[in-house]
Structure 1
Amino acid sequence: MRKLIVLFFLITNIVFSQSTKKQELIKKLTESTCTCTNKAKIEPSKLKVTLGLCMLEAINANKAEVFKVYNKKSIDSELIENVGEDIGGEMMDICPEIMEKLLNDEELMNEIAEDNGIDVSAEDEEDLNISGTFTETKIDGYLYVVVKESSGKINHFVILQSFDNVFLITDKVLKANDLIKVSYYEAELYDPKLNKFITQKVATDIVKN
């Protein structure tokens, strides 16, 4: 499941790299899709179907603009797939409650992961842990927590998702040299500066000692 969260995070980053006109269209389509889906008050098992129907309704309502932006003359499977991917990234900001329900749909998430070449056949490994002193936080594409081990080794942990003690970072509770323990897992994240995927430590919990 963590790999799938990373997948959606990457899709969101791709959306930000698109043209302004396309971003505006995607935002409008996403808002319409989210509103339609929320009004339906559906069972979780029917979310996928309802979401798809709402997306088609949004595309039809903005057909001329969609055709122009996506360089299409008709609604086909390729257009629906491309629009769906773009809407999926924007949903994390506009209707995160629906995205949360989607993330809890294991079957759907497996389908998305397979379509994007992510292996979900094996279970996630147990979180790793590193203890040390809190040095600083910094933003460099992602929000990082910098921790120095007793050996002098410096570690950078990415804050990619919410967790119980994330307030220690977001509310700036931690002070320099505070002793902390960071639980994390490793994931391949895209670095726009290097234009390639690199292995990053993704924090899942932080405990102040």
Structure 2
Amino acid sequence: MKKTILFISFTFVTFFANAQSEEADALLDKISMETCECVENKGLDYSKISSSKLELEFGICIMESYAKNKRKAEKYLDVSLNDDASLEKFGEDIGFLMVNNCPDVIMALAGNYAADEFEETKDDLTLIGKIINIETTQFNTIEIKDDSNRVQKLLWLEYFEGEEFLSNSKVLKKKNMEVVYIEKELYDPKIKEYRNFKIIKKISVL
């Protein structure tokens, strides 16, 4: 008798879970199609719009559709509007479905990201030397002595690959480092003018 009850309970739970999954899949597909329609109705010129602008429009359209279907979304979708990871996963799920529903939008987004990445990387510069000092102010300044014994100053403005090496004093004192950076014009309050600064993008140990 107990086995029968357990089997019935398991069957009911499995059926309910499958029904929930089907509802969630159908809702995701609906949001995907509504997002496609929303983006396409904006009449955007994909050849001119930047990836960040297109991504913004994409995100706005997703959230508009989510709002339209909020009651079902809260019931069937595991999405938290206060959790960046949850929202990112939600966006990825919708984007995956949009490949079938409106491939031109996704291809445009992918193409613009590639173009932006090329624009960002084509101006990368490289410096090799030893880090001799890290000055901590409002923005950290890294001082590197290159092969010609010239001291170069670079700004640490944001996270970059290899950042963890800067906390290892043994590496800093003994190893040559390769630093990838870009030059960017920023306002210098000391001289009250704009000038070029070296901004670190990546550090690696040679």
Given the two structures, how large is their TM-score scaled by the length of structure 2?
0.42
Tell me which protein shows more helix as a share of its residues. Answer: 2
Larger radius of gyration: 2
Which structure exhibits the higher relative contact order, with contacts defined as CA atoms closer than 8 Å and separated by 6 or more residues? 1
